[in-house]
Chain A
């Protein structure tokens, strides 16, 4: 069932349905009328991965704090954490993971290697076909990423004012969603299907400086915009050529609701799916390390037959969003993977 069909059973107000339907498409390459999106929507409302889309580490505010707290807990429990330590390769000997090599060449031997990056990066980049069965690599290549969203961060001279509710009151403190109608959402998707970014995208905005003023100089603000759809694969041109055009589209769209936005912008950062792939190492810029489509969930995530965090390489595990139950900041894949690892090493 689609998110739109599902919501039709409950509500009649178009803008309400449109706004709620957004939860059914975030991180997917699906539209609100696509079958299966009702499931994704319910997944969010179960509270499991809600909010994830505002959380992936570009704004230093809220999410950074969560990560720091988890890191502190891990350290306290005895874990060691090194940053600025990019792993380049996973060392495999006789079908067993024996350690990693860092970007600078440093080699670290280990009993167990657990990778929380996506399967493409793990198997194609860090290990290579030679160490892996052909069937398995076929499945790795089939696993779909299809990043469909971008991010625009605006540095503002003041607060935007929305025509719908004048003033700068409490309504700016939560999420601000540009999702005026179900058809609007669906049309945004239609363009993406044919390899273009949405001319009028779905935008989910937050102003983190309203809760944490330290993020900007006094009186200034940050507007962080999650934008869908921005397909990783463009039919014409490249994201490097289209980045600015995409940024303009986002600003133009916001301006239709908050006319003063243009005059407030003092800085702009546009992150396309390609940028997200390059900077964060998420294949095709998919924020959930792989599309949340039905054929890539549960026991099929990431690959049928390999959904239990293990891999064809002994002592190598997957523990990221690409494993069940999937994306978000809830940490469930990490915990479940740890349990499996402990089982295997008999502790």
Chain B
């Protein structure tokens, strides 16, 4: 048998790679084992139709937490990021549209076309979100404290957080407490009267989740997302070359620091002896012994599939079984033979400015389409889309969040052609009638038809289409339930409760086995925080 490895990390997604980087930088010798042929997990770029490459799953995300970005020095490892000026284009069914820009005041000028009051409120709202975002950002890089018995470091962190919270002022602070548990539909209605604007902003509170805008707690989801990016509608952050370019750069940084990465290496079992993790067994039988095992696979996969139940005890197992995470988001990738024409773009607020001339010349349209495109004109539309999923049906009129990455990086598609990447929600993991294998095409048609209401030429431009349902995400990427965050980001599964109360500090009942993926705090997407926090705790244990 080969020598005992220092640390093995299961899964080479963004979090697994970030953990590997920090461990390697501290002088450890991590080995990353990724079951797929490439690293990246949810952040990958691949060819999905001959000649067309795109962000296969996540198409936006990040940015990484500033500290992590500084530590990894990703530009040095080949990352180049596109940050379009127009963040979101949201067409409405009546042929109008809304453009949200990076700058709040400029955005407000456009919103004034819909409502003068909303224009004014938008600036106020942006500032409020920036204040809350800055405060909550500090939470992202904290290891959740043990509430019953906080250690001195926990107390210091909580004290600092409390002090900063008071810095908000009483009014903002009280409001923050009130906003968190609220339905995001109520939250946006306190500020805005324009339905389209409400829907664009509220959307973020339900991304990837089994909540609709009227679900309590969806505001907390939005606020947590604002902790990484406090722009009201998310400011797009696209790695040139698709999300895979981000993963490749992180992998390069990890390797440069001394980490080893093996792809096509699926872990089948975690082995432990006397409640201490001793290594893993790969599919095919290869056994790798290690001093510590870190899993970026989701909590249910890690504990219910990879671990032997005897390691964990019945109480823990039952609780993990109840960790909620049934995916609702499906991904559609389209190969298009040209840029689609959105009717709403001609009459969108500020479209003229975007086009630089009064005419609706398509030569300038790309500027408006370079961010994200939001299809979901009102709160009720979004809620109805959600309603279907509660009864195990996909939305007859789904909410779509779209990017066209080939606008920023022409190399992704054949000359003159384009790649369109679509999040389609709601597509519940489990269908009541039939299954995804038989009903996928129907959903794909639904998505394309929905899109055609806003860009009528899309159907005839489609050369090829790829649909990835939550079931596919589970099968191919190992995300149990096909949940994009490895488990619901609901109030009862956040912070000290992610994944479970008492087990939110990246450690597990098995000594030497750690978690570092999205199923741990903060778990909010492509910001690297879970991975970095886990590394810090692992290093603490080995120091002590």
Q: Could you tell me the distance between the alpha carbons of A35 and B178 in the complex, rounded to whole angstroms?
A: 15
Q: Which residues 14-34 of A sit at the B interface, judged by CB distance below 8 A? A: 30, 33-34
Query: Within A271-319, which residues are at the interface with B (CB < 8 Å)?
Result: 293-295, 299-300, 304-305
CA–CA, A194 to B213, complex, Å? 13
Interface residue? B491 (CB, 8 A):
yes
Answer yes or no: A240 CB below 8 A from chain B CBs: no
Is the beta-carbon distance between A135 and B390 smaller than 8 angstroms? no
In the complex, the chain B residue whose C-beta lies closest to that of A33 is: B390
> In the bound complex, do residue B177 and residue A300 qualify as a contact, i.e. CB atoms below 8 Å apart?
yes
Which parts of A116-169 form the interface with B (CB within 8 Å)?
Answer: 135, 142, 144
B76: CB under 8 A from chain A? no
Q: Taking CB as reference atom, which chain B residue is nearest A8?
A: B322
Q: Mark A174-197, 1 if CB is under 8 A from B, else 0.
A: 000000000100110010011000
A36 to B216 CA separation, bound complex (whole angstroms): 6
A293's partner among B216, B383, B384, B387 (CB-CB below 8 A) is B216
Contact A194 B380 (CB under 8 A): yes
Instruction: Tell me if B442 is interfacial: C-beta within 8 Å of chain A.
Output: no
* Minimum distance in angstroms from B112 CB to a CB of chain A: 23
List, in ascending order, chain A residues with CB within 8 A of B211's CB. Answer: 35
Chain B: which residue is nearest A28 at the CB level? Answer: B216
Closest to B190 in A: A142
Q: Give the Cβ gap from B328 to chain A, nearest Cβ, in Å.
A: 13
Query: Does B179 make an interface contact (CB < 8 A)?
Result: yes
Interfacial chain A residues near B215, Cβ < 8 Å: 34-35
Question: Knowing A34-B216, A144-B186, A193-B214 touch, does A295 contact B178 (C-beta < 8 A)?
Answer: yes
Residues of A contacting B384 with CB < 8 Å? 194
Residues in B with CB closer than 8 Å to A190 are 387
Q: Which residues of B contact A34 (CB under 8 A)?
A: 214-216
Q: Does B391 contact A (CB under 8 A)?
A: yes
Cross-interface CB contact of A295 among B170, B182, B380, B387, cutoff 8 Å: B182
Distance A190 CA – B322 CA, assembled complex (angstroms): 26
Measured in the bound complex, the distance between the Cα atoms of B390 and A187 in whole Å is 10
A183-B178 contact given A1-B492, A194-B380, A293-B216, CB 8 Å threshold = no
Does residue B217 face the partner (Cβ distance < 8 Å to A)? Answer: yes
B273 within 8 A of A: no
Q: How far is A187 from B491 in the complex, measured between Cα atoms in Å?
A: 24
Beta-carbon nearest neighbor of A4 in chain B: B390
Q: How far is the CB of A64 from chain B (nearest CB, A)?
A: 35
Which residue of the partner chain, among A9, A36, A304, contacts B217 with CB atoms under 8 Å? A36
Contact call A294/B181, Cβ cutoff below 8 A: yes
Interface string of B169-180 (1 = CB under 8 A from A): 011001101111
Q: How far is the CB of A148 from chain B (nearest CB, A)?
A: 13
How far does the Cβ of B395 sit from chain A's closest Cβ, in whole Å? 13
Shortest Cβ distance from residue B432 to the other chain A in the assembled complex, whole angstroms: 10
CA distance A194 to B214 in the complex (A): 11
Which residue of the partner chain A has the closest CB to B186? A144
Q: Is the CB of B490 closer than 8 A to any CB of chain A?
A: yes
B219 to chain A, nearest CB (A): 9
| A268 CB to nearest B CB, Å | 32
Residue B418 is within 8 A (CB to CB) of chain A in the complex: no
Closest Cβ–Cβ distance, residue A117 to chain B (whole Å): 22
Whether A295 pairs with B174 at a CB distance below 8 angstroms is no
Q: Which residue of A lies closest to B175 (CB)?
A: A304
Question: With the chains together, A93 CA to B490 CA distance in Å?
Answer: 47
Q: Are A300 and B217 in contact (CB under 8 A)?
A: no
Chain A nearest CB: distance from B187 CB in Å? 10
Which bracket fits the contact residues of A? 20 to 34
Does B324 sit within 8 A of A, measured CB to CB? yes
Residues A186 and B390 in contact in the complex (CB < 8 Å), given A194-B380, A305-B174: yes
Select B216's contact among A30, A299, A300, beta carbons within 8 Å. Answer: A30
Contact A36 B383 (CB under 8 A): no
Among B174, B190, B216, which residue has its beta carbon within 8 angstroms of that of A294?
B216
Interface status of A252 (Cβ within 8 A of chain B) = no
Tell me the nearest residue of chain B to A293, going by C-beta.
B216
Question: Across the interface, do B324 and A300 meet the contact criterion of CB distance under 8 Å?
Answer: no
Interface string of B274-309 (1 = CB under 8 A from A): 000000000000000000000000000000000000
Chain B contacts for A9, CB-based, 8 A: 322
Q: Would you call A244 an interface residue if the criterion is a C-beta within 8 Å of the partner chain's C-beta atoms?
A: no
Task: Pick from A187, A295, A304 the residue with the most CB of B within 10 Å.
Answer: A295
Q: Which of A1, A9, A183 is the most central at the interface, judged by chain B CB atoms within 10 Å of its CB?
A: A1
The CA of A142 and the CA of B179, in the complex, are separated in Å by 12
Cα-based distance from A142 to B187 in the complex (angstroms)? 11
When A142-B190, A186-B390, A193-B214 are in contact, do A36 and B181 touch as well, CB less than 8 Å?
A: yes
Interface centre among A299, A300, A305 (most CB of B within 10 A): A305
Minimum CB–CB distance from A29 to chain B (whole Å) comes to 9
B490 touches A193 (CB 8 A): no
Q: Is the CB of A183 within 8 A of B391?
A: yes
Q: Mark B101-113, 1 if CB is under 8 A from A, else 0.
A: 0000000000000
Contact of B170 among A30, A194, A293, A305 (CB under 8 A): A305
Q: Is the CB of A300 within 8 A of B380?
A: no
Interface contact B322-A35, CB-CB below 8 Å: no
A residues within 8 Å of B by Cβ?
A: 1, 5, 9, 30, 33-36, 135, 142, 144, 183, 186-187, 190, 193-194, 293-295, 299-300, 304-305
Closest 6 CB pairs of A and B: A294-B181, A304-B174, A36-B216, A35-B217, A35-B216, A295-B178
Question: 7 extra interchain contacts, Cβ-Cβ under 8 A, other than A35-B217, A183-B391, A295-B181?
Answer: A34-B214, A142-B190, A187-B391, A194-B384, A293-B181, A294-B181, A304-B174
A-B contact pairs, 5 of them (CB 8 A): A35-B215, A35-B217, A35-B491, A193-B380, A293-B181
